[in-house]
Amino acid sequence: MPAEPDFDVLFAAAAAVQPRAYAPYSRFKVGAALLADDGSVHAGCNVENAAYPVGTCAEAGAIAAMIAAGGRAIRAIVIFGEGPELVTPCGACRQRIREFAMPETPVAIAGPEGIRARFTLAELLPASFGPANLPR
């Protein structure tokens, strides 16, 4: 059994990157940090664009950093955002996480005060389509 992910470390990494988000249009800054299969931690923030649909989410940035560093699986991910509502990943990012995670992979939602809620990926994206659906 792999060790329990250190959510304190992931929370700190997501909180640290969140202020660096480029979000001049929504003014809604998000940070994400994930634990990769090799034990490394990767963080990302949202990067908006004047051509609105071109903007990217924090989760996409963290996943890109993991892949670029050689990681291939997500063991846990923390998403950090402000405001009264839970900042859960958008539908597209649930699918992005799905590519590299297991149904039971924890997805923790954090705010400035700490972790607010914890889901499994399967709770956020049930009956999902993934790599195993495609012939290799």
- Count of residues engaged in binding ligand THU, rule: CB under 6 A: 15
Q: Does residue 79 belong to the site contacting ligand THU (CB under 6 A)? A: yes
Is residue 44 exposed (0-12), middle (13-18) or buried (19+ Cβ within 10 Å)? buried
Which part of the chain contacts ligand THU (CB under 6 A), choosing from 55-63, 69-77, 94-102, 125-133?
55-63
Selected binder of ligand THU within 15, 46, 76, 94 (CB under 6 A): 46
Pair 116, 83: CB distance under 8 Å = no
Pair 82, 58: CB distance under 8 Å = no
Q: What strands lie across the sheet with 74-81, from one edge to the other?
A: 41-45, 30-36, 74-81, 106-111, 114-120
Question: Which position has the token pair 């963080």?
Answer: 43
Asked if 4 is an active-site residue, the reply is: no
Which part of the chain contacts ligand THU (CB under 6 A), choosing from 25-33, 70-78, 118-126, 128-136?
25-33
Selected binder of ligand THU within 12, 37, 55, 118 (CB under 6 A): 55
Q: Does residue 5 belong to the site contacting ligand THU (CB under 6 A)? A: no
The span from the CA of 33 to the CA of 15, in Å, is 9
CB of 65 to ligand THU, least distance (A): 14
Residues that bind ligand THU (CB under 6 A): 23, 26, 28, 30, 46, 48, 55, 57-59, 79, 87, 89-90, 93
